[in-house]
Structure 1
Amino acid sequence: MKKTMIALGLMSLMTGLTGCNENQEAVSATIHQQHVKAVGAFTEAARELESTVETLCQANTDDHLAASRAAWQVLMQDWMVLQGREKGSEAALALTWQIQFWPDKKDITGRKMAQLLAQSTHWNAALLADQSVAVQGAGAMEWLLYAHPEQLKQPQGCEVATAISQRLTQSGEALIEAWKANPWQAMTPQLALSEYVGALTNQLDFAMKKLTLPMGKPGHPRPYQAESWRSQTSMRNLKANVQAMQSLYLAEGKGLDALLRAQGEIALADRIAGEFDSLIAGWPQTASMGALLKTRDGYRDLIRIYNSLEYIRFALHDEVSPALGIVVGFNATDGD
């Protein structure tokens, strides 16, 4: 009788573990598809930017400049979904810096762009690929579209802009290739789950860094350290980061939120979901972080956002991981 009860107990445990593994395998597939969709959107945005830049260089009007700026902003919003995760496809991670060179504490982008334009070279995407990553991505395009649009009235400026837009399209197409295979498929379900949580915490850390660099010390902000300060869209980008993290956390009803609820951690799941909801609902109206850094109320808003992100990160590391039996290692921003 005792042996029978032990055997039944073991069978019950194995059934539970099998169900858990199946849920985690479903999570892996869902997260992979989220990345596939995100890189597809980014690549389509890059192609649209390339098209608008080509039109701008053919007929340089205020309307064409506005269209190129709008296309660039869509590209950035789509990039924010992937920015800072540092997990998954190694080939995709290798493309990060050429897509966006940030942080750029010494304005390397500005200096490299000025040097590029001073040369008599007829620039194209192939030649640009051999240059600094600072001139191959979204930051270089922002420099032209927002800080120095007068360069786009010159043949050299248009050649550089066209080369950058083509290079961004190439990077997007390389991302699509890099994400065709599911990098977590060969892992054990538990290891894949650890990678999933790691991707979320890495993105949280990166978003918090995007706040702390320009915030500096109280009374001594550094607005030129903000991402996309030339276009004054830092806060819009950061909100897109937060929305992407919320989507990653939920994973279409198959993510961490669902796993926590299945484990009976209802209160914890509610707290994290609620923190995401309130953070997005209370987001400042301005698209510019520089504007917020100029006032005490604006600075307080940034502190509030930082504290919310820190709370979510703490909950993931100290509560979610133990609840789901996950070991989370060092992340991409440790040691900075």
Structure 2
Amino acid sequence: MRWMIFGAALIAAAPAAAQDHAGLARKAYEAHVLPGFEAFDAAAAALVTTAAEHCAPEDLELRAAYQAAFDAWMGVQHLRFGPTEVEDRAYALAFWPDTKGRTPAGLNAILKKRDAAVATPEGMAAQSIAVRGFFALDYLLYDPAAVAAGADSPYGCALIQAIAGDIARIAHEFETAWAGPYGETFLSAGASGNTVFLAPRETTVALFTALMTGLEANKDQRLGRPMGTFEAPTPMRAEARRSDRPRRNLVLSLQALTELAKIMAAAAAPLPGGEQAPETIDLTTGRAVRLAERLTPLFEEVQTPSGRLRLEQDQQAIARVSSSMMQYVGPALGVAQGFNALDGDGG
């Protein structure tokens, strides 16, 4: 199966001279993609090691390892092509938004049934994506309802260890693929026999789409969902709120996207229309990150008019990053966005 952007209306802009798509792919791979997946693999492995000795939901070492692994995932979660899309791996790691409460309901059912076959990394891999990954641990480690359901029991310990093992398996599969076969495929776009990236430009399309979709997710989901409406804000819908991660996830995601955006802006700079790209992207991404850092950890301020304005300002700043990419980077690199990789969220 070709990568997800195949046939997705991502079209060429006006041709630009001397576009070095292969050089951009290598730079992004060496400076952003592979280091990110290596860091995630290491953090997920550390989570397994910690959970083996510290499996009580309120254990501070377990919680710290969970937070570190989630942090590392935020550094690569926008790269929604290739290995992350195989077998819904990305959604198995992060089933959100969960609009129907499937994660707590599913985990409570597992805790009630106490099937030993489920409480292993292999058994967990066969379960619904709603009861796997970081949002499963967000519930089991931080929600009093999970403790009441048995998360602090011996079976709960085994379940937490199984979820950690499932996360680590997926993280290692990502790193192995990017360090090996898929990385080679990505870096050899257009070569004879490469049936995934038929031309060098397709890797630029993949990176550009991942970046633009990631920006959209931050604006419309990480900020938009807890904002609700002016009359009815919904801060309880914020991402990973149980583990105090709404602002943390937003900031970390924006920082990762900033890194990728600057790599692409630097590639656009020597090309017609891209001369202003580095300075513009530096300014717009910097503002988006700074505004995110000034928000409260759980976005509680959305419940007041002045607080809501702060979230709206960051939405606007993120939108300016997107428009700057479309104006200065995409055309210079010969691509224009027409695809959204966030089809089919956890609703």
Match of 2:274 in 1: 265
CA distance in 2, matches of 1:314, 1:223: 27
- Following superposition, the deviation at residue 70 of structure 1 comes to 1.4
Match of 1:244 in 2: 256
Match of 2:63 in 1: 69
Match of 2:159 in 1: 160
The answer to whether the 8 A contact 1:52-1:68 is kept is: yes
CA distance in 2, matches of 1:224, 1:77: 21
- Of residues 17, 26, 29, the one that matches 1:29 is 26
Match of 2:106 in 1: 112
- Of residues 214, 226, 251, the one that matches 1:214 is 226
Question: Which is greater in Rg?
Answer: 1
Gaps of 5+ in 2: 1-15, 191-198
Q: Secondary structure at the match of 1:266?
A: coil
Match of 2:242 in 1: 230
Ranked by relative contact order (alpha carbons within 8 Å, sequence separation 6 or more), the top structure is 2
Look up the equivalent residue of 1:55 and give its one-letter code: E
Matches within 5 A, 1:1-336: 17=17, 20-21=18-19, 23-33=20-30, 34-57=32-55, 60=56, 65-89=59-83, 94-122=88-116, 123-148=119-144, 150=147, 151-179=150-178, 180=180, 181-182=182-183, 183-184=185-186, 185-187=188-190, 188-208=199-219, 209-251=221-263, 255-263=264-272, 265-285=274-294, 288-333=297-342
CA distance in 2, matches of 1:278, 1:159: 44
- Following superposition, the deviation at residue 90 of structure 1 comes to 6.1
Look up the equivalent residue of 2:203 and give its one-letter code: A
CA distance in 2, matches of 1:38, 1:203: 15
Q: 105-114 vs 274-283, which deviates more?
A: 274-283
CA distance in 2, matches of 1:66, 1:156: 19
- Following superposition, the deviation at residue 215 of structure 1 comes to 0.9
Q: Which structure features the higher share of helix residues?
A: 1
Deviation per CA, 1:162-192: give whole Å up to 9, x if none. Answer: 1111111111111123322234332423232
With over 3 angstroms needed to count, the CA separation of the structure-2 counterparts of 1:282 and 1:120, relative to structure 1, is: closer
- Following superposition, the deviation at residue 127 of structure 1 comes to 1.5
With over 3 angstroms needed to count, the CA separation of the structure-2 counterparts of 1:268 and 1:125, relative to structure 1, is: closer
- Following superposition, the deviation at residue 94 of structure 1 comes to 3.2
CA distance in 2, matches of 1:82, 1:256: 19
- Following superposition, the deviation at residue 266 of structure 1 comes to 3.2
Root mean square deviation of aligned Cα: 2.4
The answer to whether the 8 A contact 2:287-2:317 is kept is: no
Match of 2:7 in 1: none
Gaps of 5+ in 1: 1-15
Q: Secondary structure at the match of 1:326?
A: coil
- In the superposition, the TM-score normalised over structure 2's length comes to 0.82
With over 3 angstroms needed to count, the CA separation of the structure-2 counterparts of 1:38 and 1:106, relative to structure 1, is: same
Look up the equivalent residue of 2:50 and give its one-letter code: T
Percent identity over the alignment is 25
The answer to whether the 8 A contact 1:91-1:178 is kept is: no
Match of 2:194 in 1: none
CA distance in 1, matches of 2:63, 2:343: 34
Q: 110-119 vs 222-231, which deviates more?
A: 222-231
With over 3 angstroms needed to count, the CA separation of the structure-2 counterparts of 1:61 and 1:120, relative to structure 1, is: closer
